[in-house]
Structure 1
Amino acid sequence: MTYNLTVSPDFAPDHISGWYFFNTWLQRQLDTGIHLELYDGFDEQRDDIQNNKFDLIYANPYDASMLVRELGFQAIARPADKSDETVIAVNAESSINTVEDLVPGSRISTTDDPDVHTMGMIMLESADLDKTNTQIKEHPSYVVVAKNLLNGDSDAGFFLKDAYDELSDLIRSKMRVLVSSQISVVHHSFLVGPDMVEHVPALQDALFTMHENDKGRGVLESMGISSWEPMDSEQTEFMIDLIDTLID
């Protein structure tokens, strides 16, 4: 039997090969077939997830809620020391120095990454800004968000902090961070679907020891992850409740 794996589309392009390396490594660890499918955007991926296409998912916090509470997935691991934070950035030459300098009518570039967009909008509240008095422009990737800032087509942009940090030095040198969230308990998770629950013990053993040998460390490095750590149901429910509260 061949299982299916997918990954939240918000990872840096440089890590595409890393996820293919991980998929090959995982097949060898479990001695079973696993097909990896990657997506350019969230909407198409979500449709396939809701149609029960996948058995393993490296999911963003927003999708974890649907996966656990609606589709019966179980979160078993998270990347160690790697929380999901949001940054608001501007062009380095902008006269905007704080969030409070943004005014009604400001042009905001964002992506369809819902938890990052939601946190970005919450951080705009200190400037009395919301979706009713800003111009929100959605783009397919953080690279395009950055290009809009550099071209002067937007006044500010929302980024997943990891994605911002992984932009090239040249691009980052032309931008400036106004503010970064500091939630620390929101993060991506590795989830297992109901049809693959029998493999959970083997998966946990493989993931949690992955960093202990050269081959595993090499794969992790190519994914931008140092190691995996356990994630239990209590941690999962706390994170999902927090995300649901933010979005509501």
Structure 2
Amino acid sequence: MIRQWLSVALLCSVLSPLAQAQTLTLGIVPQQSAEKLARLWTPVAEYLSAKAGVDIIFSTAQDIPTFEQRLLAGEYDLAYMNPYHFTVFNQKPGYRAIARQKDKRIKGIIVVKKDSPIQSLAELQAQTLAFPSPAAFAASVLPRAKIAQDGISFTPQYVSSHDSVYLTVSRGLFPAGGGVLRTFNNTDPKVREQLRILWTTPGYTPHAFALHPRIDKALGERIQAALLSMNQAPEATALLKAINFKGIESAVDADWDDVRALNIQLLQSMLD
């Protein structure tokens, strides 16, 4: 009986690390199709898993509003979110920043077809323009604010992702649309070659890698260290290149004060 108990105890001791293993979700803002994001970010999640010693799996949402709801519900343990999203979900449920793209200022763009006669924002008067979603910071909030500030009347049409903006504008379904330089550079070359950038916004602090408050300090530091290690690890070079990152640097919540200063209220009702 004692021998049987010892055997069970030994088996439990061997299995205990697996039994206690933690699986974390890495939520990526759906600026592009889920298929493309999975292809780009699953290898990143696997790299972080190996370096941080915890299982991290890729996740996203079918569109940005759904992503916002999941952030509010705290469904992602680690999330890569746009600057405005961070200022909102830093308040509730309390995501905290640990990293951001290195040497980067996020800039929104307005794109038109390469052969379009449109040469200025003023020529978008009374047009229907494509944007990813209402709260897409650089691709939607900033361009819409500028166009409205210039007294240009327009109708926004939300098409769910940056890639959808580029595709629909390239096909002539809309005369112009909003995006960001990173996703524009990362979209299908066959689509990108049919477009040109009409206008670019000023630069702001880029997307945040942020942790849900349930992630303890020690684990958070391991994940942050894993992200920062991508700058030196030879095996991470291709991963960074694929997502159009020059590198990753550490970050703190106050880094997004430039975005807070804009006093954007689009999602404030979600916090009430």
Tell me if 1:122 matches 2:145. Answer: yes
Match of 1:31 among 48, 53, 66: 53
Q: Deviation string for 1:167-195 (max 9, x for gaps)?
A: 33432332222110122x33101101111
User: 1:31 offset after TM fit, Å?
Assistant: 1.5
Whether the aligned pair in 2 keeps the contact of 1:88 and 1:180 (CA below 8 Å) is yes
Match of 2:205 among 178, 186, 190: 186
Whether the aligned pair in 2 keeps the contact of 1:4 and 1:56 (CA below 8 Å) is yes
Residue number in structure 2 paired with 1:72: 94
Residue number in structure 1 paired with 2:14: none
Tell me if 1:5 matches 2:26. Answer: yes
Whether the aligned pair in 1 keeps the contact of 2:127 and 2:155 (CA below 8 Å) is yes
Distance 1:215 1:232, change over 3 A: same
Whether the aligned pair in 2 keeps the contact of 1:23 and 1:34 (CA below 8 Å) is yes
Distance 1:45 1:245 in 2: 18
Residue number in structure 2 paired with 1:48: 70
Tell me if 1:22 matches 2:44. Answer: yes
Alpha-carbon RMSD across the aligned residues, in angstroms, is 2.3
Identical pairs, percent: 17
Whether the aligned pair in 2 keeps the contact of 1:15 and 1:224 (CA below 8 Å) is no
Distance 2:191 2:26 in 1: 32
Q: What are the ranges of 5 or more consecutive residues in structure 1 without an aligned counterpart?
A: none
Residue number in structure 2 paired with 1:93: 115
Residue number in structure 2 paired with 1:234: 254
Distance 2:236 2:164 in 1: 32
TM-score by length of 2: 0.80
Q: What are the ranges of 5 or more consecutive residues in structure 2 without an aligned counterpart?
A: 1-21
Whether the aligned pair in 1 keeps the contact of 2:170 and 2:195 (CA below 8 Å) is yes
TM-score by length of 1: 0.87
Distance 1:149 1:35, change over 3 A: closer
Q: Deviation string for 1:203-234 (max 9, x for gaps)?
A: 23222222212112233223322211111232
User: 1:15 offset after TM fit, Å?
Assistant: 4.8
Count of residue pairs the alignment pairs up: 242
Task: Select the structure with the greater relative contact order (CA < 8 A; seq sep ≥ 6).
Answer: 1
Whether the aligned pair in 2 keeps the contact of 1:101 and 1:127 (CA below 8 Å) is no
User: 1:246 offset after TM fit, Å?
Assistant: 8.1
Q: Which has the larger radius of gyration?
A: 2
Tell me if 1:153 matches 2:170. Answer: no
Distance 2:80 2:32 in 1: 10
Distance 1:207 1:151, change over 3 A: closer
Distance 1:48 1:234, change over 3 A: closer
